[in-house]
């Protein structure tokens, strides 16, 4: 699976926090909306029951008060209802619902009496019980009672919008707090899920901050029980990776170290054979063998250096080193090799001490690798320069040559192991710049491959200096 496919797969994965937040809020909404709907219909049903009961009771009260004898005093009855003269306006003693309540008394098809706001047509069919009727666009709910004694029909009715208004008021008084509660609930759920998942984020941050060389156990004393298993498995994996890394490093180191002695002995015997040979094809073959052994010895040395750079060296183990002295030592160690090719060697070290925190052995290996490459790839009678200077809080080391250089499009690839630029005419293992990259990474140094003023390649290193490093 390539990186693009892996990245696409990760994008399709869901967020635990989003999953919990959305599902908890959704469930809460369902659990609040359903009771709200139930409350509404239950309130509507109860309102219907109460109003129907009230209609029936009021009709029976009206039946007990009004009879054929008392109906002779019709005007007095109307006066007692505060509706004298067919009052159409409202005063402080009237209620808005009075216009929505009405009663009628029918003697056959004759309207005996009605309330002023009641319609003139019957509010219901002249049959006992409850009924609903639509009159002039208004819905009425009525209760009809037949008086056996007076032989007439009593109808008491009310407009149904009274019931709707009351149902809405009751429902709103219950649903409104729920609506206000939902945003608070969402905020609370978000906060709780964020706090609950904080240990995972904390562990992820700790693991992200690790380098591949730091395979120590991840410690988090505040992790909850549910995260402990994950933490234990991560530490178990780190332990196995560390063991495997150590085995690999020891193998490379041991193998390289064991190969150096027989190769050195073989090289000596080959040189002796060349000296004692009388020339001809035997000498030519021995010289070819010598070059092959020299290449193999160089590869073993590179593998040993690579093994050392793969160790668990941390910056806590650094000491103060003088970069200028290390450059001078690398210059002197390879001076004879350069003179053998009649190359001009230039050493430029600033008077100001270039002190930094690092590992002297690794930095020496870094400088020798780069300088050895510069000498090998620079043609005979060329020039190689080593410079070290201090700029503000940085130490700058540059190794330049007059060789063929490296094309700009290949300057990143040469950092990879065993990659070599074809057509250079030089033999090598392709490990030199990979080792350089490892050592620079350990020291937190930035390095670049640039065009040299000498016409070839310039390898520039930039080391940060801590503010408390003495000058």
Domains belonging to the chain, first-starting first, are 38-169 (3.30.450), 210-312 (1.10.287), 315-464 (3.30.565.10)
Which portions of the chain are predicted below pLDDT 50? 1, 3, 6-8, 10, 83-89, 312, 418-419, 422-425, 427-430, 467-471
Is the alpha carbon torsion for 364, 367, 370, 375 positive or negative?
A: negative
Q: What is the per-residue pLDDT for 249?
A: 67
β-sheet with 383-391: strand ranges across? 344-349, 383-391, 394-401, 457-464, 446-451
Q: How far apart are CA 463 and CA 326, in angstroms?
A: 14
CA-closest candidate to residue 325, choices 394, 401, 388 = 388
208-226: buried (b, 16+ CB within 10 Å) or exposed (e) per residue?
Answer: eeeeebebeebeeeebeee
Q: What is the per-residue pLDDT for 283?
A: 62
User: What are the φ/ψ torsions at residue 464 (nearest 5 degrees)?
Assistant: -80, 145
Q: What is the per-residue pLDDT for 429?
A: 43
Helix (H, G, I), strand (E, B) or coil at 68: coil
Q: What is the per-residue pLDDT for 401?
A: 93
Q: How far apart are CA 346 and CA 453, in angstroms?
A: 13
Strands of 317-445 (E only): list them. 319-322, 344-349, 355-358, 383-391, 394-401
Per DSSP bridges, beta strands 152-159 and 383-391 are unpaired
- Mention every residue, 6+ apart, whose C-beta is less than 8 A from residue 203: 218, 220, 223, 227, 230, 231, 234
Q: What is the per-residue pLDDT for 323?
A: 92
Q: What is the per-residue pLDDT for 375?
A: 92
Burial class (CB in 10 A: 0-12, 13-18, 19+), 102: buried
Q: What is the per-residue pLDDT for 24?
A: 80
């Amino acid at each position: 699976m390539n990186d693009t496919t892996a990245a696409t797969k990760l994008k399709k994965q869901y967020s635990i926090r989003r999953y919990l937040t959305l599902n908890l809020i959704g469930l809460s909404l369902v659990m609040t909306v359903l009771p709200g709907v139930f409350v509404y219909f239950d309130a509507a049903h109860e309102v219907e029951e109460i109003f129907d009961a009230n209609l029936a009771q009021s009709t029976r009260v009206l039946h007990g008060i009004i009879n054929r004898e008392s109906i002779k005093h019709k005007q007095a009855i109307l006066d007692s209802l505060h509706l004298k003269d067919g009052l159409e306006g409202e005063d402080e003693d009237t209620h808005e619902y009075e216009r929505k309540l009405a009663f009628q008394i029918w003697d056959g098809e004759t309207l005996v009496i009605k309330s002023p706001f009641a319609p003139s047509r019957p509010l219901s069919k002249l049959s006992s019980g409850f009924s609903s009727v639509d009159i002039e666009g208004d819905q009425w709910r009525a209760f009809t009672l037949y008086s056996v004694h007076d032989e007439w029909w009593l109808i008491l009715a009310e407009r149904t919008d009274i019931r709707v208004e009351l149902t809405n008021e009751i429902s709103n008084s219950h649903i409104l707090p729920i609506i206000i509660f939902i945003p608070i609930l969402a905020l609370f759920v978000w906060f709780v899920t964020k706090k609950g998942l904080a240990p995972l984020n904390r562990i992820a941050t700790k693991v992200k901050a690790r380098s591949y060389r730091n395979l120590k156990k991840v410690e988090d004393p505040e992790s909850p029980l549910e995260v402990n298993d994950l933490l234990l498995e991560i530490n178990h994996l780190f332990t196995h990776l560390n063991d495997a890394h150590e085995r690999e490093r020891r193998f490379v180191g041991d193998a390289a170290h064991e190969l150096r002695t027989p190769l050195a002995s073989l090289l000596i015997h080959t040189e002796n054979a060349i000296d004692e040979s009388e020339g001809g094809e035997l000498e030519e073959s021995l010289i070819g063998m010598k070059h092959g052994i020299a290449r193999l010895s160089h590869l073993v040395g590179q593998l040993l250096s690579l093994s050392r750079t793969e160790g668990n060296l941390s910056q806590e183990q650094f000491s103060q080193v003088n970069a200028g002295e290390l450059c001078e030592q690398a210059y002197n160690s390879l001076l004879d090799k350069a003179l053998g090719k009649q190359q001009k060697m230039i050493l430029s070290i600033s008077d100001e001490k270039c002190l930094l925190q690092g590992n002297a052995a690794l930095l020496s290996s870094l400088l020798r690798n780069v300088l050895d490459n510069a000498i090998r790839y620079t043609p005979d009678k060329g020039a190689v320069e080593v410079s070290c200077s201090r700029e503000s809080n940085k130490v700058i080391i540059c190794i330049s040559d007059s060789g063929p250089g490296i094309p700009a499009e290949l300057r990143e690839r040469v950092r990879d192991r065993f990659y070599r630029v074809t057509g250079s005419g030089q033999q090598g293992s392709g490990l030199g710049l990979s080792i350089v990259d490892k050592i620079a990474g350990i020291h937190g140094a930035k390095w670049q491959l640039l065009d040299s003023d000498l016409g070839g390649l310039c390898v520039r290193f930039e080391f940060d200096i801590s503010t408390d490093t003495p000058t």
